Structure 1
Amino acid sequence: MNWRSRLLLTTLVFATLLTFTAEAIAHAVTEGDKGYIQEISGVNLLPFVYLGAKHMMTGYDHILFLFGVIFFLYRMKHIAIYVSLFALGHSTTMILGVYLNVGINSYVIDAIIGLSVVYKALDNIGAFQRWLGFQPNTKVATLVFGLFHGCGLATKILEYEISPDGLVPNLLAFNVGVELGQLMALAVILIVMGYWRRTRSFLRHAYSANVVMMSLGFMLVGYQLTGFFVS
């Protein structure tokens, strides 16, 4: 890919990103969803499953990180291992964070999540091997960043101001929805990647794709840090 093609690809991706509202980028709680949750109480499993799936499917940073995780994974066994580690991480901190009512500043945690995208892109292009002389454990990194992603989910859920009546089953239902949303997003990614990997352009453009992903990660970090300092 020559420099003109790379510039065009980067511009198109950035333009697409800018079409999202700030709310979509941070996948914050919509006013409609927040108002609905504040009005109900008791066990409401299906609505929380729906909200969990919606939250993940519109979670731009979560999907971008997931894309980076499976970018060079070809066997379903390996994909299952890494996705399970990510799910274990974000499920743990999400459930504990909400149950214990422990939240982190949403701008700070979302900036860290943006950095996880940057980290994965650098990992995919072999930057750490060149810089550090060794490859960090990718499974541990996926689990650790999953924990941070879960903190982000917990922070957003706390914004719902969920009624304590039926909290645990509703929270578990939300988590089920998150996993369903993650599986749907993963299915789309795998279909697209499956077609792309069968072309000769995959290896030629893999580096550029990860550079674009890293750039998007830095944009997310910048967006969140700007929000933190001006809020």
Structure 2
Amino acid sequence: MPNKLVKFCLASLTLCLLVLSVQVFAHGVDDNTRAFLQQNTGVQFVPFLYIGAKHMITGYDHLLFLVGVVFFLYKSRDVLLYVTMFTLGHSATLLLGVLSDIQVNAYLIDAIIGLSVVYKGFDNLGGFKRCFNWQPNTQWAVLIFGLFHGFGLASKLQEFQLPQDGLITNLIAFNLGVELGQFAALVFILIAINAWRLLPSFQRFSTLTNTLLMSAGFMLVGYQLSGYVIN
């Protein structure tokens, strides 16, 4: 029975990683959300709260990064610390990007977000120590990449040129929704990883899992850079 459970978990995780990496071609804002954002006027707290949560839960690039961040974190204190660093990073640049109208190329930002997934998989594999005999500060790295993730979120909203009326309140609602979505996704991720850690296969297949994580990140980077060149 444990062997079957292990195979099921591995197959599910592998499938999810591959599907999520392929879904990059469809990533963006759905038609209903697009129509709402284009027609939005005034304070719309609940809708923006929902859109923020939905975007985070369906944001495979953000979720893949979170999977890498918590993959080898065993203490709740460490999970809280790293997630807080990530949250501070993307919250700051989300608000700053939209309110200050800082224009960044969405393709390049999303490519860097894909690179953050590559980084975390490489770091989990001990790549920096093996290849460079050096280990970057993981907390600062999560914070810095969090800044780019925030600009990625901001670039999605800037496409719609949101009206100034109620903008701050709507942005706060969107950011709060992002945090709620992140929390919900993180709970699921931690439950799955902690359950897997109880099995002897966790260490045996951790290399494969993080290699797949890097592969998904490289696919994200390649697609976004291709979009940048073409467009």
Instruction: Give the structure-2-normalised TM-score.
Output: 0.91
Q: Match of 1:230?
A: 230
The whole-number CA distance in structure 2 between the counterparts of 1:16 and 1:151 is 24
The answer (yes or no) to whether the contact 1:29–1:159 under 8 Å persists in 2 is no
Native 8 Å contact 1:61 1:114 kept in 2: yes
Secondary structure of the 1:165 match is coil
Contact 2:122 2:128 in 1 (8 A): yes
Partner of 1:137: 137
1:32 corresponds to 2:32 = yes
Aligned-pair CA distance for 1:13: 5.3
Cα separation, partners in 2 of 1:74 and 1:14, compared to 1, 3 Å:
closer
Q: Deviations over 1:141-197 (max 9, x none)?
A: 000000010010110111132111000011001000000000011001001001100
Counterpart AA for 1:146: G
Aligned pair count reads: 222
**Is the contact between residue 118 and residue 218 of structure 1 (CA under 8 Å) also seen in structure 2?**
yes
Residues 1-231 of structure 1 aligned to structure 2 (within 5 Å): 12=15, 15-17=18-20, 20=23, 22-24=25-27, 28-231=28-231
TM-superposed CA distance for 1:130, in Å, is: 1.3
CA 137–182 in structure 1, closer or farther in 2 if over 3 Å, else same: same
AA partner of residue 30 (structure 1)? D
Distance 2:18 2:67 in 1: 19
Structure 1: which 5+ runs fail to align?
none
**Alpha-carbon separation, structure 2, partners of 1:37 and 1:187:** 29
Q: Distance in 2 between matches of 1:49 and 1:105?
A: 25
Tell me, yes or no, if the aligned pair for 2:98 and 2:158 is still in contact at 8 Å: yes
CA contact (8 A) 2:68 2:124 kept: yes
Residue number in structure 1 paired with 2:4: none
Paired with 1:32 and 1:153, the residues of 2 have a C-alpha distance of: 18
Query: Against the structure 1 CA distance between its residues 36 and 12, is the aligned structure 2 distance closer, same or farther, given a 3 Å change threshold?
Result: closer
What is the TM-score of this pair, normalised by structure 1? 0.91
- 2:18–2:216 Cα contact (<8 Å) kept: no
Supply the AA of the counterpart residue of 2:162: I
Deviation at residue 29 of structure 1 after TM alignment:
1.9
- Gaps of at least 5 residues in structure 2 are 1-6
| Separation of aligned partners in 2, 1:113 and 1:20 | 15
Report the Cα distance in structure 2 between the residues aligned to 1:214 and 1:166, rounded to whole angstroms.
40
The one-letter amino acid paired with 1:22 is F
Distance between the aligned counterparts of 2:14 and 2:88, measured in 1?
35
Percent identical pairs in the alignment equals: 51
Equivalent residues of 2:21, 2:217 under 8 A apart = no
CA deviations 1:106-163 (Å, max 9, x no partner) are: 1110000000000011100100011221211000000000001001011011113211
Separation in 2 of the partners of 1:82 and 1:180? 16
1:14 positional shift: 6.4
